[in-house]
Structure formats: C-alpha cells, structure tokens
Amino acid sequence: MNCEIIAVGSELLTPHRQDTNSLYLTARLNELGVAVIFKTIVGDRRAHLTQSVKIALERSDIVVTMGGLGPTEDDLTRQAVADALDIRLRRNPEIVGALYARFAARRAQMTENNARQADVLDGSIILDNGRGTAPGQLLDTVYAGHRKLVILLPGPPSELKAMFDAQCVERLREVLPKRVIAQRTLKAAMIGESQADARIAPIYSAYRDVETTVLAHAGDITLNLSCSKATLEQAQARVDELAGKLEEELDEFVYSSQGEMLEQIVLDYLGMRGATLAVAESCTGGLIAERLTGISGSSRCFLGGAVVYSNELKTLLAGVPPTMLEDYGAVSREVARALAEGIRRKTSAGIGLGVTGIAGPGGGTEEKPVGLVYAAISDGKQTDVVERRFGGDREQIRRLASQQGLDLVRRRLM
Amino acid sequence: MNCEIIAVGSELLTPHRQDTNSLYLTARLNELGVAVIFKTIVGDRRAHLTQSVKIALERSDIVVTMGGLGPTEDDLTRQAVADALDIRLRRNPEIVGALYARFAARRAQMTENNARQADVLDGSIILDNGRGTAPGQLLDTVYAGHRKLVILLPGPPSELKAMFDAQCVERLREVLPKRVIAQRTLKAAMIGESQADARIAPIYSAYRDVETTVLAHAGDITLNLSCSKATLEQAQARVDELAGKLEEELDEFVYSSQGEMLEQIVLDYLGMRGATLAVAESCTGGLIAERLTGISGSSRCFLGGAVVYSNELKTLLAGVPPTMLEDYGAVSREVARALAEGIRRKTSAGIGLGVTGIAGPGGGTEEKPVGLVYAAISDGKQTDVVERRFGGDREQIRRLASQQGLDLVRRRLM
C-alpha cells in the first residue's frame, strides 16, 4: 500500500515556513509497511486543494491531508475533500454541542464560524482532538472503483501526532495487508559519489525488492536500504544480505553499518582503544573540534586543541618552528606533520591531528591552488600525511578537509 | 506569474530528509514577483516524475525541478522532463569534454555514467555548475498552447543557489512583468522572540503595505521587510521608514541593518578598529572559531585560539591556574575570566574571548544546571564576564553560547 501526504496552508508556500509534520507521519506509516510516494504542498485555495486531492486519489491508496480544519474562512480542507469525492458534508450536532461546551468552560463566547468544524464527510469516522477544537476524520471509501482511505488531520504538530497515534495507527493496522519494513543505513567516507555508484550500482540493482538510495555530501556517502516483506525476518535477511555485499565492495571506505556519523565512530574507536585525541586546525578553523564536541560524552576522549589560523599561533600553540613556516609555507606537508606532532606533544594526547590548506576563495597560487589540503596524524611512533585537492567553494572545502581529518583518525584506529 | 517547485529524490520521501531548497527559491521568486502555488515532492521513479512534471505544466507558468541531475541510474529528471514535454535529449559534446577535463584536473578517471549529465533538452539553455559536475537547464517553451519556463536545477543547496542567482534571476527578470520590490533585513542578537515581537508588533502592524516577518533562531532574530510599489523609490522609502523605527525600538540589540551575519559584523568591527581576536572555547568546542573562519578574509583579524575541552588543556593552552579549576570548577565566572585573559596574553591578541558552560544533556547539578554559560571578554585593560542560563538541547545551548560570545565582542567594539 502507498500513501500521498497533502500539506495544506498558504504559509507553507512562503520562504519562512515549512511542513515538518510529514516527516513524523512518514516514519509512522513506514512502520506500518506503507510507503509515501508523493507529498504535495498546496495553499488555502479551494480549487487548488480539490484538484490536489483528486490527483492523490487517482494515484495513491491512502490520502492524508494535514491542516485546513480550523474555524476560519481559509480552512477549506473538509469542503475540498467532499468536492473531490463528490460526497456531502453534514453538520454533526454532537460536535457542535462539544464545541459550545468547550467555549463555555473557558467562559468564552463561541463565534459562529467555529461550527464549521462540525462538518463531517458522509460516512467518515470522527477523530477526537484532545488538544484543539478541530476534530479529524477518517473515511474508508471507494473512488473510481478502488478502495481508498482518506484521513483528515489538523495542522498543529502536537494535535496531529496525538490524533494519528491514538486514533489512526490501530485502524490502519486492521485494514492493511501485513507487511513489515526492514531498514539499514551504510555510511562511507572520502569516496566520490560517481566512483562509489559505479562500483555498487551493479550490486544493488540486482536486489529489486530492496529500495536503495545513495546520498552524497562533502566526502560523506549515505546508503539507505529498505525492504518490505511479510515478516521481519524475511525483510531483514534481504537488507542484511545486500548490506553485506555493499560493505564488501566499498571495503575500508565504509565507516558505519548502522548510520552513525563519522565523528561518532571516531569517538567510539577512541573509547574502545582508551586513546585520546587533540587537533591543530588551520583551514578548518575549529570545524573538526566543533563536530566532535557536538556529540555528548566527547570529553571522555577528545581533549580539545588549537585553532591556529595565524602563523604565530601555529608556533605558539602547536610548536611549529618559524623557520619551517618560512621555508615551506603554512600550507605544506611539513607543517601538517608539525601540527599533528606538535599538538600531540603539547597536550600529551595519544593521537594528534593536524590540518592545513587553502579554503579559498582567495589565497590560491598556481603551485598551491584553492582546495589544496594536507592532513596529518601522529601517534608518537608514526606520522602520516595525506595531500588532497578538493573542489567546491569555501564551505565545501572546509567540510571535506574536516571529513578527511576525521577519516584519518578512523583509519588509524580501525 | 506563478510557479510550481518539484523536489526530486526518494530520500525526500523518507522520515530522514527534507527539501529545504524550496524555501530559498521561494524567497528569490517572490522578489521577482512570482508566487509559488504548489510544491511537489516525488521519488526517483520515472513514471511518477514524468506525471508530476506534466501536472505542473498544466497548472503553472514556471516549473522548477530540483535534484535528479547527477550521474547515477536514479538521476532521472532530464529524461522525465523530456518525456513530459515530448521532446528529445541530445548529448552535448562540450559538456562531455568539460566533464573529462574536470576529472583529469583531479587526476581521476571519469566513469561512463558521468556522461549522462551532458544530456540536454532540445532548445534549452545550459546552466553551468561551478560547484559540481551536473549542469542545469532552462527551457523557454510552449505546452498545450501556453508559454512555459522550465528550469532544471541540481539538488545540492550550494550548487542550486549559486546557479539560480547567477544564471536564472536575470533571465527571469527579462521575461516577467515589471514590478519593483524593496527589501531590508534587520538582525538582532540575544533578545527573546516574544520579547522582541511584543515591542515591535505595534510598530510594523501599522505598515500594512510592508510585509514583515520575524524569524528567531538561537539568540538571533531576523526581521525581513518587503514592500512592492510602482517605483523603487516609493517602495524603498516605506521599507526604510519602518526599518528606522524598528531599529530605534530594539536599539543596541540590533547588530545589522543590511542582513549581515553576526560573525561578519564582528570581523568588520575588528577590521575598522585594527584589532585582533583570539578565543578560548570550552562548551562551544570550536563553534565560535568555526563561525568566524567560515567567513573569507577572517584571517586578517582572527588569529585563532584554543579548544580547551579538558581541564588540562585549559591550563596548558590558556594558562588557567589548576588551583582555580579546583576551587571554582571549570564552569565558573573565574575560569571564564581566566580563559579570556589567558588566551589574550598567550596569543598577544588585542581581544581575548573565553566561554565555558554546561551544554548537556549530562553534567548538570542543582547549583550548576545544564544551560549555565559564562562568557568573558578582555582587552588587557578591562575584563567583563556575563552569566547566562540558556534553555534547549545541547546544540541549541552551544549555538546560544557562541552567539553570546560573539555579541560580547560586538558590544565591546560598538
């Protein structure tokens, strides 16, 4: 079974507001074995809304609307769904009574427009709203010869979530064929998207029952695998089998088979080895430290470090000899090495990481272009330096450089 | 003129990812006088994608797709748009050549699938992608007797923004009816949203012809003012008049009247005073340095600093006496002061900034709860410390603490 979610509200078509309810609903629906195949965002215009509902009824088994159930003139969802299905709305006297009682309890006068919230699609189940005035509706109906479930939910997130969890999940479970979805997320670092996909597409394409999506961002690749079967065992077996093959193909590029972030994996490895880390960052300007300290509990293994943006600070905080900076330049293999070794020595950390490079947009030369980055790692016995030439803008280069630095630590501890 | 935005990608139909590009595009389109009337989110399935493009062509003047232009099997946007319009794709040899050159420059082998990115809709203008491999396309065409603009943009936000700003805005302006919009963006730091709105709502509500939106995020408030008139002078006069009144009301909380980020303002002030800055960060873990170094040219005034996550590093890199850490604890007014003074002395910076606090979720006590933050600033003559108790999760507290630190520098230099 599949579903289309329609988010209703002109404010969702401005630059300032965004539907987030659909993420929550998608998670719940996926758990029930329902895939979301379209999302539509439409304003408070009756013709647009009616058309959107019709299109959804034509292509999806379940149609969920969110919003437009309130008392005002621009709350049009009930009317639009009635138009699309060509059925009638009836004003429900019990709901009208409950609305009056609700207002009376607050010693407030109920304005006439509130009664519109009592208009119910013929044949639908009323979904009580414990947190607001507008009730929802669930309609099990037939459209163009096919069975359709239509669910009208209120827009405010707390009302929507409470109503869906308490009054829709069980009803959907009864109606839906028994399907269970298993998921896995693999993550890989410092391999290009097209290079990775060229290697893995032949593998995942052969698993037609597993949906595989490939996402790439600044040296980070995320593979989401998802499979729906009658039992969890069957679904999990297919997902795990494919995950195993993908992991084998991408080999040491894979850093996580459960979706953790690279900084989390680095901290986990440090914890397992009882090791500590300190960093000396030039071009990344604190980004590596910021990523690591973004994770709660990082203080157990991450000591901190130095942001050595100026040459003087490279010397003062990380012990890089001034003559080395003169001889080789701040962006050089030698200085990267000295940063890693210097910050390790200075802080008595088990591992020192140093990163220097040219983030741009200015500062590049023919010999040392924008995007040139050196990252070095030292554990006191051995120091390794890698040279990379990254593409992209300042933000991308900094992000790639931080990813390269963290990946060096991961590989050393692997 | 109206527009429909189609966000392409199966990952956007999972609970884990969401289209955010459309917010940016909507802002740009609104500035051009174009209203967004529908947004559709569709997965990487050719039939679904083709159908979505057809529906959009039937109801909207401008259709913008985002994503699905990459090199992999599931990048189907080019093909789907060609199907919907019933026109041909041709492989463009110049783009193929540029792709080969791009890979060669990085000493990488181009895999065959990359050439798919050179498939161009018959008659479309090619939009160069300075930040990625996939070019965009802009097609001025006729569908069912009506003129339509179809724009294909890449999905990664930095690629999409750069391409739209540099290569679409002017072309759209030429085609669209003339209308002039004036805008201003005011920004304020470290004042609560409801407090700010209570003060300014009576003022902006009186300007019905100026659209005012208030956005708040972690100690940062953005006020967008926008007014549409027959001439720029008329529109600008209204916007500037309201901006002046809002600035007067919010007074010293306002740090920018042209929309610059706080870190940019801090660097501008440092530049104007010929001053330099160094930071010692505990709970912010590099975030302040990362924000400053994210801005190109920051090296002129920002020297760098220390991420002093462990107590040992507070002593080693910022000179905090070990006895002080024992007597007062790492999160204390005294240690914040010592961090600011110590990093200033150590680096010979004009200004030293120190931040220490409890970001949570663990580590709080009754006396020193999660969210307690001390920020200190020293210029060698005077050191000031502020104590704040922030709400929110770890990320919000760290962001608020970094904002407080930067705002201290701004106020000192104001």
pTM to 2 decimals?
Answer: 0.78
Residue A262 is predicted with a pLDDT of 98
pLDDT tens string for chain A (414 positions)?
899 999 999 889 988 889 999 999 999 998 888 999 999 999 999 999 999 999 999 999 999 999 999 888 788 999 999 999 999 999 999 999 998 888 888 777 788 888 899 999 999 999 999 888 889 999 999 999 999 999 999 998 989 999 999 999 999 988 888 777 888 999 999 998 889 999 999 999 999 999 888 888 889 999 989 898 888 899 999 999 999 999 999 999 999 998 899 999 999 999 999 999 999 999 999 999 999 999 999 999 999 999 999 999 999 999 999 999 999 999 999 999 999 999 999 999 999 999 999 999 999 999 999 999 999 999 999 999 999 999 888 999 999 999 999 999 999 999
What is the token pair recorded at A80?
A: 């639009």
> Is the pLDDT confidence value at B248 over 80?
yes
- Tell me the chain A residues in contact with residue B72 when contact means C-beta distances shorter than 8 Å: 193-194, 197, 201, 214
CB contact under 8 A, B15 and A37: no
CB contact under 8 A, A278 and B313: yes
**Interface test mutation site (partner B, options A38, A194, A200, max chain B beta carbons within 10 A):** A194
- Is B48 or B30 the better-scoring residue by pLDDT? B48
Mutual angle of helices B262-273 and B394-413, in 10-degree steps: 30
Residue A81 is predicted with a pLDDT of 97
CB contact under 8 A, B26 and A13: yes
> Using DSSP, how many helices (H) and how many strands (E) does chain B show?
14, 17
> Is the pLDDT confidence value at B94 over 90?
yes
Return the exposure string of B240-268: e unless at least 16 CB atoms fall within 10 Å of the residue's CB, then b.
Answer: eebbeebbeebeebbbbbeebbbbbbbbb
CB contact under 8 A, B35 and A20: no
**Interface test mutation site (partner A, options B293, B298, B301, B312, max chain A beta carbons within 10 A):** B293
CB contact under 8 A, A38 and B40: yes
CB contact under 8 A, B346 and A316: yes
**In Å, what is the CA distance from B107 to each residue of A389, B101, B103, B110?**
10, 10, 6, 9
- Tell me the chain B residues in contact with residue A360 when contact means C-beta distances shorter than 8 Å: 296
Residue A109 is predicted with a pLDDT of 79
Residue of B nearest to A7 (CA): B39
Nearest Cβ partner for A293 among B39, B44, B309? B309
CB contact under 8 A, B317 and A36: no
CB contact under 8 A, B156 and A217: yes
What is the token pair recorded at B21?
A: 């590009």
- Tell me the chain B residues in contact with residue A16 when contact means C-beta distances shorter than 8 Å: 23, 213, 215, 224
Residue of B nearest to A225 (CA): B11
- CA–CA gap between residue B296 and residue A361 (Å, rounded): 7
What is the token pair recorded at A3?
A: 């579903």
| Min distance B313 CA to chain A CA atoms (Å) | 7
Judged by DSSP in three states, A160 sits in helix
- Residue B133 pLDDT grade (very low, low, confident, very high; cuts 50, 70, 90): confident
CB contact under 8 A, A41 and B40: yes
Residue of B nearest to A26 (CA): B15
> Using DSSP, how many helices (H) and how many strands (E) does chain A show?
14, 17
Q: Is residue B188 within 8 Å of residue B221, measured between CB atoms?
A: yes
Nearest Cβ partner for B26 among A14, A214, A362? A14
- Structural domains of chain A ordered from first start: 2-175 (3.40.980.10), 180-256 (3.30.70.2860), 262-413 (3.90.950.20)
| Min distance A269 CA to chain B CA atoms (Å) | 19
| Min distance A159 CA to chain B CA atoms (Å) | 19
Residue B103 is predicted with a pLDDT of 85
Residue of A nearest to B21 (CA): A15
CB contact under 8 A, A305 and B313: yes
> Is the pLDDT confidence value at B392 over 90?
no
Strand segments, DSSP code E, in B144-267 are 146-153, 180-189, 210-217, 220-229, 254-256
The string of pLDDT tens digits covering residues B135-181 is 999 999 999 999 999 999 999 999 999 999 999 999 998 888 777 77
Residue B117 is predicted with a pLDDT of 93
Q: CA quadruple B134, B138, B139, B144: dihedral positive or negative?
A: positive
- Chains A & B: contacts with CB separation below 8 Å: 252
| Min distance A97 CA to chain B CA atoms (Å) | 35
- Tell me the chain A residues in contact with residue B55 when contact means C-beta distances shorter than 8 Å: 55
| Min distance A37 CA to chain B CA atoms (Å) | 7
| Min distance B380 CA to chain A CA atoms (Å) | 19
Percent of chain B, pLDDT > 70?
100
| Min distance A143 CA to chain B CA atoms (Å) | 20
| Min distance A172 CA to chain B CA atoms (Å) | 19
Q: Is residue B410 within 8 Å of residue B266, measured between CB atoms?
A: yes
Across the range B58-85, mean pLDDT stands at 95
Burial class, A198, CB count within 10 angstroms (exposed 0-12 / middle 13-18 / buried 19+)? middle
CB contact under 8 A, B298 and A305: no
CB contact under 8 A, A306 and B303: no
CB contact under 8 A, A48 and B30: no
**Interface test mutation site (partner B, options A10, A11, A12, A39, max chain B beta carbons within 10 A):** A39
Residue with tokens 């149609």: A63
CB contact under 8 A, B38 and A36: no
CB contact under 8 A, A297 and B133: no
| Min distance B280 CA to chain A CA atoms (Å) | 9
Residue B364 is predicted with a pLDDT of 93
| Min distance A310 CA to chain B CA atoms (Å) | 5
What is the token pair recorded at A71?
A: 């008392």
Residue B74 is predicted with a pLDDT of 87
Across the range B297-303, mean pLDDT stands at 95
CB contact under 8 A, A26 and B36: no
Across the range B359-382, mean pLDDT stands at 95
